[in-house]
Amino acid sequence: MAAYKERIERLEALLRIIPTRARPEECPDPARLLDRVAEHFKAHTSPNARRRAIQRDLEELVGAGAIEAVNPGGKPLRYRRTHERDDTDPYVWDYARRAMRNLVESALPIRRLETLWPQLLDPQNGFALGEDRLRIVSDTQRLLPAAIRNGVLADVLEALACSRTLKVGYRDNAGKVTQPTLHPQGLLQRGPRLYLFALKNDENEPLRMYALHRMTRSAVNEEAARLMPGFDLQTLIESGQADFAGNKHFDLRLRARGYVAELLRDCPLAEGQRIEDEPDGSPFDVVVQATVPATGQLLRWVLGCGDKVEVLEPAALRQVVIAQTAKAAAIYQGTTPEAAG
């Protein structure tokens, strides 16, 4: 974490002193920049090491689209900002890279990911396959991300990384806006929405979840954030608070047919999944067994499969599916479009 903070602080320091609007001859070169932010490169003992370090940072900012060389091929290169701060904030850029890694990780075996990921981070790497020949699409309905006010994400990430308090305007479900001081503990993306786990004002508990899209304003304070003893983001996720996973697992047994049967042959529900063909004459193609977390995600997936899946076990999940599908059927069978509106 210390190295991470130092890198972010270096990039922030560089962005603060690189101008957005300046004539090429007025734009700073690496030597001039190093003179102004020398304190951030004290860990490098030799002048050559400091020059190499600042050059790496500048190349990273160029790769992120935060700055550009105004005299390509010139010696020395001179740099200028390309966008306003909120578009290229180092914390936001680091968050984006982590989000991209999660997306890539979901599509590749871990060994392939570890080989490929460093190449994706190299700003010098281009891609031979453009969007005209390579696209990645979701097989589920993807919602647009919740709209977050400009600057809020950068402030939340900075407060979290630096363990500082965050003053926000927060609009609750009823539309009431309050002005709490938050003590950030962890950040979680749940689908298209982002949530901050934080303590509020002088409270030691409970730990609360704040949706970033409900924050109407934000400001990072100099005050150190109060940390909740024993806080562990993974434990919270596994306990089901984020609805990404539960700390309970059960043995799922279901019948599947059509495209779902083919999908589960190719993409198992879990490690150790067992799949067997149904006997001739069965309305289903296969029986599938797997040990899976007890989550809302699983229920939504089963319901989304419609008549292509029948849950056999556990009995409790089967009863929930029966009840939910009965409610849905009643809506469509007993309500006219006019009444439904």
**Helical segments of the chain, H only:** 2-17, 30-36, 47-63, 85-88, 90-105, 110-121, 152-162, 233-238, 258-266, 296-304, 315-334, 337-340
Q: Residue 314, preceding bond cis, omega within 30 degrees?
A: yes
Beta bridge partners of 194: 189
Choosing among 3.40.50.11540, 1.10.10.10, 1.10.540.10, 1.20.120.530, the CATH entry for 2-83 is 1.10.10.10
Q: Residue 223 in contact with residue 233, Cβ under 8 Å? A: no
Rg (the chain; Cα; Å):
26
Domain with CATH 1.10.10.10 in the chain: 2-83
Residue 312: pLDDT band (50, 70, 90) is: very high
Is the per-residue pLDDT at 112 higher than 80?
Answer: no
Between residues 231 and 21, the one the model is more confident about: 231
Among 194, 171, 173, 169, smallest CA distance to 182 is for 169
Interatomic CA distance for residues 239 and 293, integer angstroms: 10
Is the per-residue pLDDT at 336 higher than 50?
Answer: no
Domain with CATH 2.30.30 in the chain: 152-238
Mean pLDDT of 50-70: 88
Is the per-residue pLDDT at 100 higher than 70?
Answer: no
Strand, coil or helix: what is 311? strand
Name the residue with tokens 């008549």: 307
For residue 145, the model assigns a pLDDT of 83
Residue 329: pLDDT band (50, 70, 90) is: very high
Segment 261-311, tens digit of pLDDT: 999 999 999 999 999 999 999 999 999 999 998 888 899 999 999 999 999
Segment 208-267, tens digit of pLDDT: 999 999 999 999 888 999 999 999 988 887 776 666 545 688 999 999 999 999 999 999
Is the per-residue pLDDT at 148 higher than 70?
Answer: yes
For residue 340, the model assigns a pLDDT of 45
Domain with CATH 3.30.70 in the chain: 249-334
Between residues 118 and 69, the one the model is more confident about: 69
Burial 76-111 (b: 16+ CB within 10 A, else e): ebbbbbbeebeebbbbbbbbeeeeeeeeeeeeeeee
Name the residue with tokens 């981070």: 121
**Helical segments of 168-295, H only:** 233-238, 258-266
For residue 12, the model assigns a pLDDT of 82
Choosing among 1.20.1050, 3.40.50, 3.30.70, 2.40.50, the CATH entry for 249-334 is 3.30.70
Between residues 37 and 320, the one the model is more confident about: 320
Angle at 140 between CA 136 and CA 145, to 5 degrees: 80
Name the residue with tokens 């970033």: 212
Burial 141-167 (b: 16+ CB within 10 A, else e): eeeeeeebbebbbbbbbbbbbbebbbb
Interatomic CA distance for residues 299 and 257, integer angstroms: 18
- CATH code given to domain 152-238: 2.30.30
Measured from the Cβ of residue 170, the count of other Cβ atoms closer than 10 Å reads 20
For residue 261, the model assigns a pLDDT of 97
Mean pLDDT of 79-108: 65
Measured from the Cβ of residue 11, the count of other Cβ atoms closer than 10 Å reads 23
Measured from the Cβ of residue 31, the count of other Cβ atoms closer than 10 Å reads 11
Average pLDDT along the chain:
83
Residue 60: pLDDT band (50, 70, 90) is: confident
Residue 18: pLDDT band (50, 70, 90) is: confident
Q: Residue 246 in contact with residue 293, Cβ under 8 Å? A: yes
Alpha-carbon dihedral sign for residues 7, 9, 14, 19: positive
For residue 218, the model assigns a pLDDT of 92
For residue 67, the model assigns a pLDDT of 87
Tokens found for residue 333: 């069978």
Mean pLDDT of 16-28: 82
145-159, 216-230, 325-339 — which is least confidently predicted?
A: 325-339
Segment 174-218, tens digit of pLDDT: 999 999 999 999 999 888 889 999 999 999 889 999 999 999 999
Between residues 158 and 240, the one the model is more confident about: 158
For residue 134, the model assigns a pLDDT of 59
